[in-house]
Structure 1
Amino acid sequence: MTFYSQPTALAAGIAAVLAFSAHTQAAKIPSATLETIVVTATRSEEKLEDVPARISIIDEPLIEQSPIASFPHLLMSDASINMVQLGGYGQQASFFLRGTESDHTLVLRDGVRLNNDASGLAPNNFIDTTDIKQIEVLKGPASVLYGTNAIGGVVQIISKTPDKNAAFISAEIGENQTYKSIVGADLADHGFYAQVRGQRLETDGTAIHEHENAIASSFDQKGVSAKFGYEATRFGTSLDYSENQGNAQYEQYSWSSMQYEQKSQDFKNQIATLKSRFSPTDQLTLNARVSYFKDELEQLKSFERTDYESTEYELTAKQQMSTAQNIIAGITHRQLETSTLKAAESFHQDLNSTGYYLQHQYQTDKLKTQAGIRLEDHEKYGQHTVGQLAARYFFTPFFSSYANVGTAFKAPTMNDLYYGDYANPSLKPEESQSYEMGIDLQLTLQLKSGLSLYRTEIDNLIDSDPNNNWKFANIEAATIQGSEVYVNWANDAFFAKASYSYNQAKNDKTGLDLSRRPRQKLALSAGWADEHYGLSTTLTANSHSDSSNYDDDVIPGHAQIDFNSYYQPNEQLRFFANIQNVGDVQYKTASAGNYDGKFYLNGGRLASVGLTVKY
């Protein structure tokens, strides 16, 4: 692939396009916006401002700025998330939500769990962003509705559903020989709808270590998805399927050869979901779901393969008891199969888990409450009961306060129990208690602000034990305390957003900070967006943090700036230009854990241009 020979000239050209967009005259649009609807907090649709918890939204305009933008890059815009990626595209990516562990956040796609019980993580670096309507980040415990992994919260990907007939093709090219192309078609007619998508992404990548002989690690990805369904007043059903596969090159230090070696891995994930909804009366709604998720990862230059399969069966019933009260009752059964094949110490595990939950909601103009309880019957770890109580009170239509108290749990992963020298088959599940309170204030029609204070206490936190050759162990306890504040302003097509997060995550026994938790993060964005022109810039900045429990390395604080612009002369045509990390800041993300003291690096600058044609 040779799209151009002078990447610096490309970046300069894109900067010129951005500057031109900033000074172009455009028609004004009303400042009023549609109400944001979310589903993650209660498994049913409700207005964002009514939720008695803190939810942030990564919305469709932000997602559509750049088809190339990866899932980890999109999540970086949330001040409560510390994204740790061991390099650029396709490299291992994990995030720490409100100071909790990287496997304490559950990732869903339309209700389907993407966390792999081998590692506890979702395949964040491989998730395709082609068909996302919005990303909902629910902060705080959510085990009542979702079971294990939801100590820190839930990140849910909401996919698009067709509402009109359409077809499109989109392409974006950028530095490092990076490109992505997407083709799609939608059909919607009298309640019936169908949707198909195909995408391809390739990049030569960047060097992921800072040693002088480091070479670029490439990544390629291709996928298809299809959705078919029917929606009517009393009945609805849908069938979704998506498949995503590719190859990621990476670099790893070898203690046998005492040098860095190039490695390669193939990945493939599949999701199939059948959903049905039936409303026999105006007051009763029944929902059923059967889903299948498969995640495969194979190391090509060493004998190692991990396969994970999960089949879920879920049935929920929502009864509207009065205009102000409803009850949701549900049961979720999961069948899990995890296997890791290695030259030595392979393992295989089959597990079943069944959760029973009940949630009550009370909603008036002044008061919104949510109370729930869940009994999880885990084949390996027995029964766990968790609960949650939350309320939001509106002192005026423009000023509200909320409080949220809940417990959650997480079962040890298969890797914690059986993988490598640090595994410990005797680990216990982690358990947590969380407390949160906050306010939201609509200062003017254009200006809104809010503040949250939270505390999470985790018992039996799984971490490395320096007194036992660094094997995994349940340390006595950890405490996380923090706060978040946001300010959003919008006036016609102009907008500005600012959010700030502070958290302190400590091991109660040693008093030391937990790894990879910067105390502070700031996210700022501002711009102009109307029906024809758009220009925006985003700044994210992290303070320093400890690298790991294995060394004394410190990850320095860092910041990066992104620019985005578009020109849309009509509904059928859209031109766009983007620069990720405009300063080409080669910031460190994690220690490589080697004798040489080198670090993993972020992917650097990526300038790109693209075009979307719609019919």
Structure 2
Amino acid sequence: MSISLQPTALVGAIAMAMGFSSSVSAQSITDQNTVNASLETLVVTATRSEEKIKNVPVRISVIDEKMLEQSPIVDLPHLLSKEAGLTVHQTGGYGQTASVFIRGAGASHTLFLHDGMRSNIATVASTNIPLFDLTDIKQIEILKGPASVQYGTDAIGGVIQLISKTPTENKVFTTLEAGERNTYKSILGVDGAEDGFYAQIRSQRFETDGDQIIAGDERKAGFDQKGYAAKVGVEKETYGLSAEIKENKGTGDYFSYGAPEAYDFMNRLYNIQGRLNFNDNLTWNTRLSQFEDQYNVVKSLYPSILDTEQQEIDSNLKWQLNPNQNILFGAQFNKTEAKNIKNFNSDNETVGYYLQHQFKNDLFSTQTGIRLEENQQFGTHTVGQIAARYFATPKTSIYTNIGTAFRAPVVGQIITEPAWWGGNPDLKPEKSVSYELGFDHSFGYGLQFYGSVYQTKIDNLMVSDSSTGWKYYNLDKATFTGSELGLKWKQDNLFANAEYAYIQPKDDETDQDAPNRPRQNLTLSAGWDNGIYGLTTSLVAKGSAKDAHDVPGYATIDMNAYWQINPHIKVFSNIRNLGDTTYKTAWNNQVNSYYIASGRLASAGVTFRY
């Protein structure tokens, strides 16, 4: 299917629509110091159970459902780029390789979860985030800081978790958004819910002609995907059970060695979760999951097939000792198989045992934990965490968080054949310790202020560079230091938000900044929203990044709009990168040129709901 749209006509239509409407882009990226209504936001990533965001003694942000619905064609890298404390490094537009750095830590230090199931792949030290579909996602939680106590390996920098929707009403809806460069996405959804039982089906189709991705090369990299998600379950006071399956697959173009290339991809998740309340004080939760990721280079000088399959069982007991404190004890088993059809087939198993204690009263909210993890290939590791939030006044709280974490090498970092993978079987696991101090304060009149300072020290940091022929090796020490300040205001239907993050990732041996991480990061947004009409303008600004090649800073502006005509019809419009800013993102060694970011994308859409 292909939809041809004239940019001039489309932009004109959007300009007219903005006279009536808009969306709540950056307003929806919240923190525990946001407006009073969002202070009741529930999060699960920090503690493995639902907690009010204002009580969690760590820094965590949420991208909520309202923001996810404003633009179905928006991809995960673009959403995450609106968080000042995150650096998103993407070599082009839709479907192109992207990495996420939380507070300056490496891309491999960010753990991605789908409804609790890890989705980092084992063939490379990262994950295929541009290929995730967000059609059935309710919210995205961004935990900043170590989380190995809760989740084991990879969570040195933090955790990003995609949480699926659970139906609460009967409805049928369809959404279509179309924009420049023949970009469109269509979604069909059916929800049913009655007496605690529910069922949900989603299907989606996305396609775009794509953007130019390399300076001096006018060719565009197209991208398409399609998929479905289905979920059934029951939620009662004493028990709950759900089963879900989701699949997303497609094809993307990219350019290497000056020639056009293409890949096919597929990611699939199976998830069964159960809850049983033995009594008011004792709850048992269990999850059985399988995640599959296939990335097949089908048109290239070097074709390859890279597959990761992970199976996971997680089971825990939560004991509510009294109204103020609880203990969580659990065990987690993960088996990962990674293979390249022509070169390797490797598997690894880990078993982790974790213990967590929480305490909460009018003055304090604390969280302490310890985890023992046995890794089949890399031995036993023990990590711990101590975190506390002190409510100095009803409007002011201070928190501190100290935690250790680790990351084991993945298959792509230790294999020796083929040599161009850069594998080194003698690599040691990375170990880290992090310190953080922060505050949240409400001035009243809808004004919220927050800030934090942090430092993470990593031993045995795994890196590769041209000096070793791109073979991985361990650095003795690296230190990531930074701070964040944010201001949020909401009065009646008006709102404004600002966040600034300073990030300094250092190699302690050379005293040089790690590549691809700008020190200066700023996000701004302002708008008006009364629930029927809305208008938001947001700015993302990044300073220059220290790299072998100069990668200058940039600033982009997005505009979002909506009009809820009636309970059944909603129209919306979006302009991404309003100024059509072209900026460099990384250097391509094969063609001696820069990757460049996507230009302007104006789009409009409609949702029918019954």
Residue matched to 2:608: 613
2: CA distance between counterparts of 1:582 and 1:142? 37
Contact 1:31 1:493 in 2 (8 A): no
2: CA distance between counterparts of 1:416 and 1:581? 36
Deviation at 1:184, TM superposition (A): 0.4
Residue matched to 1:566: 562
Partner of 2:133, secondary structure, is: coil
Deviation at 1:593, TM superposition (A): 2.1
Partner of 2:512, secondary structure, is: coil
Deviation at 1:21, TM superposition (A): 3.4
Partner of 2:202, secondary structure, is: strand
Contact 1:314 1:330 in 2 (8 A): yes
Mapped pair 1:224 → 2:228 = yes
- Pairs within 5 Å for 1:185-584: 185-211=190-216, 213-253=217-257, 260-302=258-300, 303-342=303-342, 346-418=343-415, 420=420, 422-464=422-464, 467-547=467-547, 552-584=548-580
Amino acid at match of 1:508: D
Partner of 1:103, secondary structure, is: helix
Deviation at 1:232, TM superposition (A): 0.6
Partner of 1:585, secondary structure, is: coil
Contact 2:21 2:572 in 1 (8 A): no
Contact 1:285 1:317 in 2 (8 A): yes
Deviation at 1:469, TM superposition (A): 3.5
Q: Report the CA distance shift for 1:20/1:568 in structure 2 as closer, same or farther (over 3 A).
A: closer
Q: Report the CA distance shift for 1:3/1:268 in structure 2 as closer, same or farther (over 3 A).
A: closer
1: CA distance between counterparts of 2:280 and 2:175? 42
Out of 73, 80, 88, which is 1:68 matched to? Answer: 73
Deviation at 1:464, TM superposition (A): 2.0
Q: Report the CA distance shift for 1:93/1:466 in structure 2 as closer, same or farther (over 3 A).
A: closer
Residue matched to 1:183: 188
Deviation at 1:470, TM superposition (A): 3.9
In the alignment of these two chains, the number of paired residues is 593
Out of 133, 136, 142, which is 1:137 matched to? Answer: 142
Amino acid at match of 1:131: D
Amino acid at match of 2:358: Q
Q: Tell me: higher relative CO, structure 1 or 2? Use CA pairs within 8 A at least 6 residues apart.
A: 2
Contact 2:383 2:405 in 1 (8 A): yes
Amino acid at match of 1:602: A
Partner of 1:52, secondary structure, is: coil
Out of 103, 115, 118, which is 1:113 matched to? Answer: 118
Deviations 1:277-302 (A, max 9, x none): 00011000000110000000111124
2: CA distance between counterparts of 1:297 and 1:4? 29
Q: Report the CA distance shift for 1:581/1:306 in structure 2 as closer, same or farther (over 3 A).
A: same
Deviation at 1:466, TM superposition (A): 5.4
Deviation at 1:595, TM superposition (A): 6.0
Contact 2:573 2:603 in 1 (8 A): yes
1: CA distance between counterparts of 2:177 and 2:102? 31
Deviation at 1:324, TM superposition (A): 1.0
Deviations 1:190-227 (A, max 9, x none): 0000000000000000111012x330110000000001
Contact 1:162 1:188 in 2 (8 A): yes
Structure 1: state its 5+ residue gaps.
23-29, 254-259
Deviations 1:8-55 (A, max 9, x none): 332233123224438xxxxxxx98557111110000001101010000
Out of 35, 42, 60, which is 1:37 matched to? Answer: 42
Residue matched to 2:166: 161
Residue matched to 2:29: none
2: CA distance between counterparts of 1:229 and 1:541? 43
Deviations 1:299-354 (A, max 9, x none): 11243001110000111000001111100001000111100134xxx111111100
Structure 2: state its 5+ residue gaps.
23-34
- Give the percent of matched residue pairs that are identical in Structure 1 and Structure 2: 48
Deviation at 1:445, TM superposition (A): 4.1
Deviations 1:502-545 (A, max 9, x none): 01001000111101010011011111122210111110000000
Residue matched to 2:586: 590
Residue matched to 1:26: none
1: CA distance between counterparts of 2:38 and 2:100? 31
Deviation at 1:172, TM superposition (A): 0.4
Contact 2:125 2:413 in 1 (8 A): no
Contact 2:545 2:553 in 1 (8 A): yes
Deviation at 1:415, TM superposition (A): 1.2
Mapped pair 1:98 → 2:94 = no
Residue matched to 2:28: none
Contact 1:31 1:490 in 2 (8 A): no
2: CA distance between counterparts of 1:168 and 1:43? 32
Contact 1:362 1:368 in 2 (8 A): yes
Amino acid at match of 1:15: A
1: CA distance between counterparts of 2:101 and 2:361? 35
